[in-house]
Structure 1
Amino acid sequence: MKITKLFFGITLFVSSITIAQNKSFTLNEIWGGAFSTEGFQSLHSLKNGTQYSVLERDKASGASNINIYDYKTGEKTKTLVSSSSIDGLASFQGYTFSKDENRILLSSELEQIYRRSSRGIFHIYDVPTQGIFKVSDKKIQSPLLSPDGNKIAYVLDNNLFMLNFVTGQEVQLTDDGKKNEIINGITDWVYEEEFSFVRAFDWSADSNKIAFLRFDERDVPEFSMDVYGKELYQKQDVFKYPKAGEKNAKVSLFVADLSAMTSDEIKLGDYKDFYIPRIKWTANPDVLSVQVMNRHQNNLDLVFVDAKTKAPKIVLNEKDEAYVDITDNLTFLEDNSFIWTSEKDGYNHIYHYAATGKLINQVTTGNWEVTQYYGYDIKNKKIFYQSVENGSVNRDVYAIGLDGKGKKRLSKKEGTNDAEFSADFSSYISYFSNATTPYEFTLNNGANGEVVREIKNNKALLDNLKGYDVRPKEFSTIQVNGETLNMWTIKPKDFDPKKKYPLFMYQYSGPGSQSVANTWHRANDYWYMMLAQQGYIVVCVDGRGTGLKGAKFKKATQNDLGNLEVQDQIAAAKQLGALPYIDASRIGIWGWSYGGFMSSNCLFKGPDTFKMAIAVAPVTSWRFYDTIYTERYLMTPQENAKGYDDNSPINFVKGLKGKFLLVHGSADDNVHVQNTMQLVEALVQANKDFDWAIYPDKNHGIYGGNTRLHLYNKMTNFIKENL
């Protein structure tokens, strides 16, 4: 067995908090927000390049303010908009500028629908005149200002509308929208969840055309959930949810020409059973880009559509034996050449293509991954991006020439570095943290990365933590099944290698995910420290199938989810259990969602390794999960029944020996409670003892009021009683 220490940037941190380091973390504090960090809300870089705006709330009046700050001095120059001066608008939750920044779209009374979707009341604020008007008295979805700032498009009751607030003209662009049948301009449930977007329309550069998607989901099977509420009779939430192997919504593309008052369907070619995961107008107002993907998601065409002739042309094709990832990195330059990111050389990198689709050059290269694309500086012909070049658990900010030359690392500190660039890329706000440093916000020079000034830090949080027994993460690697896997460990205070400690493992393990990262604590990390304070060693290992170590490592689990990942967790547990200070008879594991699928399998398939497991909101059979996610990694059940059934926890309940806690929310629209009910039935029929809990009307996040506190109390007690 080989465990290699990666780094311990903790010496100064530990020494600085040893005084009065006695207090233990409590769940009430953790879930009451006692250790939350400060940050920015809705930061927007103004096009002048010298100022930025932030949404802030006045604590005294409760008013929402859009405040303008100077990059160089950090001084607030003015309050651009305040809800206190707007009749009938007590506050607002978000804002979006028009391209010329003369108008601002304000969102209020937002009502969450699913993970990314919401509906709300929207107002337009005119900056020059300080005038304001309400877009609609009804709650609308996904409003978007036109590039010229004179129009707005939005969705109401599954139909797409356009309002010209200069002329007062309102046009209903579609009229066939109907719940659970036809959707215009926004995505269906599965697109929203798995392709990560809701607004399914876009304005052309000249503000005269709107391209939009139409979803016909009449043939998609329905899923229903009981919503219990507090009334005498429960209600039902019924929505279209295509499970693996079932019919998807039929998606079609339209372009509405507002000058000609026409709306035409665009025939993209001889595609069958396909997805359109992205549409975006190019710099040319008559050319629309459309990404078309086959159902297996291993073939992607970038199609350019001529809005005048309606003719489609494939300009780029991506193929992969496993799958092609969808991103929002496609960027069109003034000459309609474009930036594209791809894993085609085995690692995610940036490419520059001509408008014809001919490759100009590969901008970045190396055995490391680009993790974010920030943008392109036209003046200096530089691309700014984030990558894991400095180790897969770290993130750094880089600049590089469009020609791939002159690469420069802008960030200086080891950990997680992120950036929010000014509009002219001359400066950026740096977001930095690592496992021992809470978020620091600084203004940095865009040319060399040097710190200009500090903007905000979390020293108050550090001061607060000085009174606590903080248990920092130790980062290392472990050799498992021929692979070098990233790992972190949290040990009890006064750790004694001559003693025996119980081991509690956390993992998620989903394709492309990462749980071992050199970044500041989340709420769960304080829980792990609390468990360490009570004598547990807590460990996390990122096994095969996780991300940021190249496509081969990430896609090793293709068509066989829950096999190699489970092998890695079991093997890691065995290796750690062989250490002299680990009690091999007291090893537990837990996870949420994909992690719940994993922890269930680990307990059932590794009964002699794990004493207990907790599974929260788990997938228990991929047959119950949605088409886009599941088929991306497993193909359909009709094509790969073995991949679905050989690793379903439902089929391995006879292996259960240890203690098992199963938790789900009854209103989980993502991983349906059906998963838990089927597993419960299998456990009952196998006559296996287990514990379980259902949280009424709670979704996949299982939160609201005291729900999280209750859940973590339950899990903590289960660990203390059974490990």
Structure 2
Amino acid sequence: MNRFLYWLLLLPASSLWAQSSPKNPPTLTVETIMQDPKSWVGTSPTNPFWSDDSRTLYFNWNPSQAKGDSLYKVTIHRDTRKKTVTASEPIKVSPSERRALPTPPVSTYNRAYTQRLFDRQGDLFLLDVKSGSVRQLTNTVENEIDPTFSSDEQKVVFRRSGSNLFSIDLKTGELTQLTDFRTGAKKAEPKLTDEEKFLKQNQLQLSSVLKERKEKKDEADRISKADRPKRAKEIYLDDKTVVNPQLSPDGRFVTYRLTKPATGVKNTQVPNYVTESGYTEEIPARTKVGAPAASQEFFVYDLAKDTVRAVSVKDIPGIMDKPAYLQSAGKAKADTAKKMRPVVISGPVWSDDGKMCVVVVRSLDNKDRWIMRFVPETLKLSLLDRQHEDTWIGGPGIGSLNSPGNMNFLADNQTLWFQSEADGYSHIYTVNVLTGERRQLTAGKFEVQQVQLSKDKTHFFLQTNEVHPGEQHFYRMPVSGSRPERTRLTNMTGANEVVLSPDETLMAVRYSSSNQPWELYLMDVNQPTPKRAASQPAQMAGVSAPLKLTNSPTEAFNAYPWQEPALVTIPARDGQQIYARLYKAKTPTGKAVVFVHGAGYLQNAHKWWSQYSREYMFHNLLTDRGYTVLDIDYRASAGYGRDWRTGIYRHMGGKDLEDHVDAAKWLVETQGVDAKRIGIYGGSYGGFITLMAMFTTPDVFKAGAALRPVTDWAAYNHPYTANILNEPQNDSLSYRRSSPIYFAEGLKNYLLICHGMVDVNVHFQDTVRLMQRLIELKKDNWEVAAYPMEDHGFVEPTSWMDEYKRILKLFDERL
């Protein structure tokens, strides 16, 4: 039985294709495109990783449409005489082989890259790269994680049970505890009252026998204490938690952060109505924006001196600066006293020789990032680089409150490379820790999205979108020289996600185009390829062309002529250019739908397979029915630099909504769309924009479907919202003008709201509160579809089908 016939027999009758031919393509239905993707789209390969000898490539895949993905592998063959690289057919890895595999390679090699440490299921292992032999170092009930080599590579340093640091001597097997963090408070010695002190002293003066016995006991205690082996200092945490303890390369210092939860913080609860118990159960969820933050302190434990000291941040330049939005006339505080802004210290990052140390300090309001040299012995902090934004710090490689971002030392052990948006786009910079000399290595109106330093530290491997904002390519660039020339290593149009082999000679490339899902390819690093079609037969591939390793789509998926949307630019009212995907109707009817991607900071107008794959297929369905579809990368979308990313600061539903209104106008002026027949829809942030569009620009969009929408930003989480709108108690105007619930009276046209009832991200309460508002406003042109068992991202095909049938019905009836 062929695969296509087998597939047809498995499908429900409602989703069968009509008889099709090249002139009569199959008809799309909601039931078809919203079913389990693996049963008809196919499952793309994910999570590729290499064996340590660079001879085998592993990846997760599911070509057999099993319940879950399995681990597959291909074996790489090199012919040095013919200068070719070939690969075997993918085969499934047996369970026994899978369980014996080391974890994927990470940066826990020794300096010669001959040995690698890894942890697996709570135990530690040492791998010999050349022979492939594995030595198990621990076998305990407790979890051992994050192994690293000591500076002399004679010991392995690791964390046990989350907090305490230990080391194992690789020759003797001796286990040493380096820290002794203890929960709770240390029991204090009982204090004597003045009366008790007098009686004790008096007794010793009156009795020579008592005094002699005490002296003998004190001497015995002293000797016993001196004879005891040296142990790690007991460090009591009280009600705090240890974060990221690290041993310095010379083994003398342990740096760590203590975090203390704020008191009186109220967490939200999400009711779950459909449960196994038959009772309504509560799902613990997040806090809301503006809730008190945990306090953070950074400490140094000096093992040589047996001392623990806190690092002071009071002298950091600008730490007393008041954010710009609070300095405006309407926000000026009555008191002018300067207050130190709370910060988080992440790192440290050490040079290979252990002589240089750098930490990253980040303000909790996310408006400053300081890169600082740190000397543990003196606790001195010295500024190397400060990035300040009146909006908020962000962008590729910049890190977060809990991560220093992409950075490390070059081979000279005193030059630090890092990423910064200082010139408006995320680029690579260096700074000399001793001299402070700072250089910019990449520049231009594009983003460096990923960076990896070569093992010999002579080159960077990086991913950028410099060819086009909607393409991602892989490059090699020398670390020396100003504006060093980059060598482009990929050429297939779309996105190229690269995983380098450990020997840095081969690339596993996860590639997709706008109308074809992700597949896995093999390429040679040292032979940049000429541009060629991704459909070129694999047998023609060698070192000069990508070798295709997988073929994932089903015959049924390939039977439909999926549209390659046109990537267009649309002028915005402020002169900026908006990138967009345009799906043209097969037979235009004047109807149009604008799709709004979610997440805010996300890119969807690009040349690779969308993470909104169901929506992509739905847009093809709409074009079959005469709709023109537009999907724009509005203000705050990813991929376009700092100013575009922060264009919504203090006003969500401002420039981002204006971009959609300008796009609707462009549809009318250039695509023959009827201005009275435009709909809008989207989920999460896209649902929010849909509500703002329907409430504040009601004459632009005739119908809208808001999926899992934020209706009041004061009810959303802190990390995301506080960056953009600050805190509601300090910047209530930003929340007032950014929250749809305040503008509900503007609804004129037809609105559908769909929301999962166990959504722990955007809570169903958002929709319930808006429902009550619409009821009180006596609006009757709206409806809500609730999904009792769905979280923020739907899982069940029946839920997807129901939701998109309602969306299609809304547009068909109202447009």
Where 1:43 maps in the other structure, the secondary structure is strand
Which among 733, 739, 758 is matched to residue 642 of structure 1? 733
Deviation at 1:566, TM superposition (A): 0.9
1:362 corresponds in structure 2 to 440
What are the equivalent positions in structure 2 for 1:569-588 lying under 5 Å apart? 569-579=660-670, 581-588=672-679
Letter of the 1:599 counterpart: T
Alignment-derived partner of residue 117 in structure 1: none
Structure 2 gap ranges (5+):
1-20, 79-84, 186-237, 320-339, 400-404, 530-541
State whether residues 276 and 290 of structure 1, in contact with CA within 8 Å, keep that contact through their aligned partners in structure 2.
no
The answer for the alignment partner of 2:181 in structure 1 is 174
Q: What SS does the aligned partner of 1:628 have?
A: helix
Query: For residue 473 of structure 1, what is the aligned residue in structure 2?
Result: 565
Query: In structure 1, what is the Cα distance between the partners aligned to 2:258 and 2:408?
Result: 24
Does the CA-based 8 Å contact 2:682-2:705 persist in structure 1?
A: yes
Please state how far the C-alpha of 1:412 moved relative to its aligned partner. 2.1
Select 1:408's aligned residue among 471, 477, 487: 487
How far, CA to CA, are the matches of 1:464 and 1:590 in structure 2?
28
Residue 528 of structure 1 is matched in structure 2 by 619
Seen in structure 2, the aligned counterparts of structure 1 residues 473 and 64 have a Cα distance that, compared at 3 Å, is closer
Task: Say whether the 8 Å CA contact 1:217–1:250 is kept in structure 2.
Answer: yes
Which one has the bigger helix percentage? 2
> 1:22 Cα shift?
2.3
Aligned with 1:702 (options 779, 794, 810) = 794
CA–CA separation in structure 2 for the residues paired with 1:45 and 1:256: 38
Partner of 2:763: 672
Call closer, same or farther: CA 1:85–1:362 in 2, change over 3 Å: closer
Identify which range, 453-462 or 287-296, moves more after superposition.
Answer: 453-462
| 2:367–2:390 Cα contact (<8 Å) kept | yes
Question: Contact between 1:415 and 1:434, CA under 8 Å: does it hold in 2?
Answer: yes
* Residue matched to 1:84: 96
Aligned-partner Cα distance in 2 for 1:652–1:555:
23
Aligned to 1:598: 689
The answer for the alignment partner of 1:346 in structure 2 is: 424
Instruction: Please say if 1:383 is aligned against 2:440.
Output: no
- Which residue type is aligned with residue 694 of structure 1? A
Counterpart in the other structure of 2:109: 99
Q: Percent identity?
A: 21
Q: Which SS does the other structure have where 2:296 is aligned? A: strand
User: Is 1:566–2:570 an aligned residue pair?
Assistant: no
CA separation in 2, counterparts of 1:269 and 1:42?
45
Aligned position for 2:603: 514
Displacement after TM superposition at 1:286 (Å): 6.2
Establish whether residue 281 from structure 1 lines up as the match of residue 341 from structure 2. no
- Return the alpha-carbon distance in structure 1 between the equivalents of residues 414 and 472 of structure 2: 30
Choose 669-678 or 57-66, whichever is displaced more: 57-66
Measured after TM superposition, the shift of residue 281 of structure 1 is 2.6
How big is the shift at 1:478? Answer: 1.5
Residues 584-636 of structure 1: CA distance to partner in whole angstroms, max 9, x if unpaired? 32211112221111111011112111122122222222222233322222223
- Structure 1 residues 355 and 520, CA, compared in 2 at 3 Å: closer, same or farther? same
Equivalent positions of 1:237-636 (< 5 A) are 237-238=283-284, 241=287, 243-255=288-300, 265-269=310-314, 272-276=340-344, 278-283=346-351, 284-285=353-354, 288-325=357-394, 326-327=398-399, 328-334=405-411, 335-356=413-434, 358-376=436-454, 378=456, 381-402=458-479, 403=481, 404-450=483-529, 452=543, 454-457=546-549, 459=551, 461=553, 464-481=556-573, 482-493=575-586, 495-496=587-588, 500-508=589-597, 512-521=601-610, 522-579=613-670, 581-636=672-727
> Does the aligned pair in 2 maintain the 1:401–1:407 contact within 8 Å?
yes
The residue number in structure 1 matching 2:10 is none
Q: Which moved more, 1:591-600 or 1:369-378?
A: 369-378
Question: 2:226 matched to which residue of 1?
Answer: none
Distance, in Å, in 1 between the alignment partners of 2:48 and 2:156 is 23
Q: Against the structure 1 CA distance between its residues 696 and 143, is the aligned structure 2 distance closer, same or farther, given a 3 Å change threshold? A: farther
User: For 2:463 and 2:562, how far apart are their aligned partners in 1?
Assistant: 30
Secondary structure of 2:553's partner?
helix
Q: Which amino acid aligns with 1:354?
A: N
Aligned partners of 1:441 and 1:454 also within 8 Å: no
Q: 1 CA distance for matches of 2:580 and 2:69?
A: 45
Partner of 2:218: none
Do residues 150 (structure 1) and 150 (structure 2) align? no
TM-score for the superposition, normalised by structure 2: 0.72
Partner Cα separation in structure 1 for residue 366 and residue 496 of structure 2 = 31
SS of residue in 2 equivalent to 1:556? coil
Task: Report the alpha carbon displacement of residue 713 of structure 1 after superposing the two structures with TM.
Answer: 4.1
Mean alpha-carbon deviation: is it higher for 17-26 or for 370-379?
A: 17-26
Describe the SS at the equivalent of 1:583.
Answer: coil
How far is the alpha carbon of 1:536 from its aligned partner? 2.3
User: Greater CA deviation, 657-666 or 605-614?
Assistant: 657-666
Assess, with a 3 A threshold, how the Cα gap between structure 1 residues 288 and 674 changes in structure 2: closer, same or farther.
Answer: farther
Which residue, 13, 18, 26 being the options, matches 1:22? 26
Moved more, 460-469 or 583-592: 460-469
Taking the aligned partners of 2:251 and 2:523, their CA distance within structure 1 comes to: 35
**CA offsets, 1:548-590, max 9 Å, x none?**
3333333332222211111221222133134564233221111
Deviation of 1:248 after TM superposition, in Å, equals 0.9
Deviation at 1:656, TM superposition (A): 0.8
Single out whichever of 334-343 and 424-433 deviates more from structure 2: 424-433
- In structure 2, how many angstroms separate the alpha carbons of the residues matched to 1:214 and 1:487? 46
Within a 5 Å distance, the mapping from 1:182-193 to structure 2 comes to 184-185=241-242
Conservation of the 8 A alpha-carbon contact between 2:690 and 2:705: yes
> Contact (CA 8 Å) 2:167, 2:178: kept in 1 or not?
yes
Q: Deviations over 1:23-64 (max 9, x none)?
A: 425544544122144324341463x56665556899899997
CA deviations 1:485-519 (Å, max 9, x no partner) are 111122333x35xxx23211111376543220110
Partner of 1:118: none
Q: How many residues align?
A: 664
TM-score when scaled to structure 1? 0.80
Kept in 2, the 8 Å contact 1:37–1:458? The answer is: no
Report the counterpart of residue 230 of structure 1 in structure 2: 276
- Contact conserved, 2:494 with 2:514, CA < 8 A, in 1? yes
Whether contact under 8 Å (2:681, 2:706) holds in the other structure is: yes
In the alignment, the residues of structure 2 paired with residue 468 and residue 557 of structure 1 have an alpha-carbon distance, to the nearest angstrom, of 39
For residues 641-700 of structure 1, give each alpha carbon's deviation from its aligned partner in whole angstroms, at most 9, with x where no partner exists: 222111310011011122222233333333233322322222121122322233335432
Matched residue of 1:642: which SS?
Answer: helix
